[in-house]
Amino acid sequence: MDNTVEEQSAESKGGGMKRKTIIFIAAAIVVLAGVFLFYFFYLENPSRQVLARVNDEKITVDLFNKELAKVEPPLIRDMFREEPNNLLERLVVKTILLQEAKKQGLSAPVKTYKDAAKNPVPPEESIIIEFIGKKFSSPPEVTREEVEGFYKMYKDRMEGKPLKEVAPAIEQYIREAKQQEALRQFLEELRKNAKVEISQERLQKISAKPPEMDTENDLKQALTSGKPVLVDFGANSCLPCRQMRPVLKEVGTEYSEKAKILVIDVYKYQNLAREYKVLMLPTLVFFDSKGKEAFRHVGILEKEKIVAKFKEIGMGS
């Protein structure tokens, strides 16, 4: 009888320990789930993720994404996705300018609906425009010596026109160049003196992977394939190069059995850029079936001209 009671007591204690263990595990899961939810829905919320601090003012991932969505055309937007630091730097400078403008007591004018329809410039940009306008309200001086020096340097481009006739246009050009240089130096100084902290880790996380490009080995194999080859010497950061990609892809797909098309990054393969004397982007170089250069073109080239050139250098119809 005593043994039976002891056994029952032991079983009861064992059951109690099991329940306590289950309750403890359940509580731990709830706590971990809470931490998980807090991390992803609070700390990892784009509106709370700080990409940069500019004089203690935050630029968040959410703000970055909103500015990115405004960028046109889509090709440039894609480039900013791959190199977000370029857009972030613009936001940093914009923030500094707004801070400086507000120090001067400038604020966006109150607009009615009709005013907004006539002038759709965002309030923050209106403040910056006013600030820059006041800062550089006095146009820089242009001397006669500067005009004459410019005329002498570029006389061969003046279409035989005398100095007297082109002097006003030259003066205006020099004045605008001076204004741009003054603005560049001013922005550079502001950026230098501002306290800017950028989260490189977070910047890396939001960076999109750039399109794959061909390698040096791909080029060697293509030039010994016995087929005509077109090599686009370009870069992902080059807008005309990016504009060529759909055209090259279309031609490459359509004539995959008769010709080869490659895209080489000149910054990654600088030795190839030097070897083939690439000075401007994009440079399109056509090679015949023996791997010998047959033609080159700098800039964008239409699909019809690419196909015509391929046929001219030996691609079968």
> Which residues are the active-site residues?
238, 241
Count of other CB atoms within 10 angstroms of residue 42: 10
CB 260 within 8 A of CB 231: no
Give the Cα separation of 47 and 43 in Å (integer): 9
Six token digits for residue 9: 């007591």
**Torsion region of 165: left, alpha or beta (phi above 0 gives left; psi -120 to 50 gives alpha):** alpha
d(CA 276, CA 265): 13
The enclosing H or E element of 201 equals helix 200-205
**CA nearest 187: which of 95, 115, 266?**
95
Strands lying side by side in the sheet with 293-298: 260-265, 229-234, 283-287, 293-298
CA distance 64 to 205: 13
Angstrom distance (rounded) from CA 224 to CA 194: 55
In terms of Cα–Cα distance, which of 317, 313, 23 is closest to 31?
23
